């Protein structure tokens, strides 16, 4: 199995895209380190505790989901279950058709789960007008693009790209000033919130003990999307639960510090249900759609720990491959190290297992992961699984190496001839040898050493 698709994408990437991704990623890595260092006396203990809690959630997932359903229902939150993307979209469309006119605006807050199910296409296909209200997601939408990072959707763009898009869409005069660009988007999106009949969000956490939905954000668009429209729908993976609100401070600090280098996000919303009779505002209906879409299968398998993920994006920022190729190279809504495991775990290695090779296995992703997901180990297991399934072609240099190492005669001959072979760069393949130097053997061979020892 090789990485031709990721590699080909990287080779064709414009220099300024690589610069944007590298610059933004490096800034996030630096701010993550300083913020988490200040926020926790012992970050290792905090990560270990977070991993333990998420494992407990996975062990008790069925019971916690039922507990959430009972508590949320008591709060008049309507809970739905979707086994796959089609079912999740069908539930959203049924709600929209019941409460909104054809052509109505649906205000979208940022949500990877709705990206995963392709909700915007489903809404448009049914005649509704989904409008992304997160600034980065809005730029992605007007450009007909896709997010390239799970936290920073336009990490691959710079302010010139955004300025040109806004002029093209008639949002205002050309400016590269981020504050002015934000004000242009704000003026446009305020009307969206006023006109929208339905607001759709994801959920950062769902609290089993209280039945509440937790959303974190920095722009305030989540608050508008979930309170101004008559109906709020939250779409979330079944693994997004926490047992109780006692665990929330730990996860809020880990998520903000790992994702954006903040002590806490600007807004933290705890949504307790639809508006009460004497509330001045708020939606008349609140729905939660729990999305499976392959997760129960992952839960039973060897990649179960990937479901600990809290979508902070820290593993993307630190990954040398992601920084070089950007998110689109992964051909999936989940990119970077998390995507390289989660995408094939959800969709099968035959569909997208090549992503497991898009890694140097340097281990940086595991080091920064706030819930200690052993991503490198899983990447190796995915590679092993793909090789055993006979998927993809084996890399030629390694095939040659395997032949050499599998025969005692050839191996002995190879060791004897090593000083000569070193001068032949094509011995293991020209491309392989271009960037590597065959090491010289130091001292005696292992066999000589073993003979003398015994």
The residues of the shown chain that bind ligand SF4, judged by CB under 6 A, are 258, 309-315, 338, 368-371, 373
- Which of residues 95 and 315 has its CB atom nearest to ligand SF4 in the complex? 315
Question: Shortest distance, CB of residue 375 to ligand SF4, whole angstroms?
Answer: 6
- Which of residues 271 and 371 has its CB atom nearest to ligand SF4 in the complex? 371
- The angle, 0 to 180 degrees and rounded to 10, between the axes of the packed helices 159-168 and 178-195 is 50
Residues 6+ apart with CB under 8 A from 279: none
- Which of residues 6 and 192 has its CB atom nearest to ligand SF4 in the complex? 6
How many angstroms separate the CA atoms of 263 and 323, rounded? 25
- Which of residues 74 and 362 has its CB atom nearest to ligand SF4 in the complex? 362
Question: Shortest distance, CB of residue 224 to ligand SF4, whole angstroms?
Answer: 26
Query: Of the candidates 112, 49, 16, which has an alpha carbon nearest to the alpha carbon of residue 316?
Result: 112
| Buried-state track 168-185, b at ≥16 Cβ within 10 A, e below 16 | eeebbeebeeeeebeebb
DSSP assignment letter at 45: H
- Which of residues 274 and 376 has its CB atom nearest to ligand SF4 in the complex? 376
Question: Shortest distance, CB of residue 305 to ligand SF4, whole angstroms?
Answer: 9
How many angstroms separate the CA atoms of 50 and 154, rounded? 29
- Which of residues 312 and 382 has its CB atom nearest to ligand SF4 in the complex? 312
DSSP-derived pairing of the beta strands 105-108 and 198-201 = parallel
Question: Shortest distance, CB of residue 422 to ligand SF4, whole angstroms?
Answer: 40
How many angstroms separate the CA atoms of 311 and 40, rounded? 20
Residues 6+ apart with CB under 8 A from 422: 438, 440
Question: Shortest distance, CB of residue 134 to ligand SF4, whole angstroms?
Answer: 17
How many angstroms separate the CA atoms of 56 and 242, rounded? 9
Question: Shortest distance, CB of residue 5 to ligand SF4, whole angstroms?
Answer: 22
């Amino acid at each position: 199995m090789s990485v031709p698709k990721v590699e080909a994408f990287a080779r064709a990437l414009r220099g300024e895209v690589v610069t944007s991704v590298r610059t933004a990623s490096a800034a996030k890595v630096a701010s993550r380190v300083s913020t988490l260092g200040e926020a926790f006396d012992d970050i290792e203990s905090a990560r270990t505790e977070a991993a333990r809690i998420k494992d407990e959630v996975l062990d008790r997932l069925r019971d916690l989901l039922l507990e959430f359903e009972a508590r949320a229902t008591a709060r008049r939150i309507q809970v739905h279950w979707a086994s796959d993307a089609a079912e999740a979209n069908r539930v959203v469309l049924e709600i929209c058709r019941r409460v909104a006119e054809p052509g109505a605006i649906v205000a979208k807050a940022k949500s990877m789960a709705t990206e995963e199910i392709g909700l915007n296409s489903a809404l448009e296909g049914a005649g509704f007008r989904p409008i992304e209200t997160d600034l980065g997601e809005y730029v992605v939408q007007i450009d007909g693009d896709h997010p390239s990072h799970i936290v920073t959707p336009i990490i691959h763009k710079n302010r010139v790209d955004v300025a040109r898009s806004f002029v093209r869409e008639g949002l205002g005069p050309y400016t590269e000033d981020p504050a002015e660009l934000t004000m242009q988007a704000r003026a446009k999106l305020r009307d969206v919130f006023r006109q929208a009949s339905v607001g759709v969000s994801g959920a950062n956490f769902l609290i089993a003990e209280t039945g509440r939905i937790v959303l974190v954000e920095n722009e305030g668009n989540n608050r508008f999307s979930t309170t101004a429209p008559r109906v709020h729908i939250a779409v979330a993976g079944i693994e997004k639960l926490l047992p109780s609100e006692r665990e929330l401070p730990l996860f809020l600090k880990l998520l903000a510090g790992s994702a954006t280098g903040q002590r806490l996000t600007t807004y933290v919303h705890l949504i307790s249900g639809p508006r009460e009779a004497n509330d001045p505002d708020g939606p008349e209906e609140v729905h939660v759609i729990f999305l499976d879409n392959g997760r129960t299968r992952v839960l039973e398998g060897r990649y179960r720990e990937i479901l600990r993920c809290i979508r902070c994006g820290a593993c993307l920022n630190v990954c040398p491959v992601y920084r070089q190729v950007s998110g689109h190279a992964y051909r999936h809504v989940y990119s970077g190290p998390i995507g390289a495991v989660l995408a094939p775990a959800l969709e099968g290695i035959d569909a997208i297992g090549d992503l497991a090779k898009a890694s140097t296995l340097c281990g940086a992703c595991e080091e920064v992961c706030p819930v200690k997901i052993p991503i490198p180990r899983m990447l190796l297991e995915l590679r092993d699984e793909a090789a055993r399934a006979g998927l993809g072609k084996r890399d030629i240099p390694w095939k040659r190496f395997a032949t050499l190492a599998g025969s005692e005669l050839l191996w002995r001959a190879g060791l004897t001839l090593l000083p000569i072979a070193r001068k032949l760069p094509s011995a293991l393949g020209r491309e392989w040898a271009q960037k590597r130097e065959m090491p010289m053997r130091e001292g005696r061979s292992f066999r000589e050493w073993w003979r003398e020892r015994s």
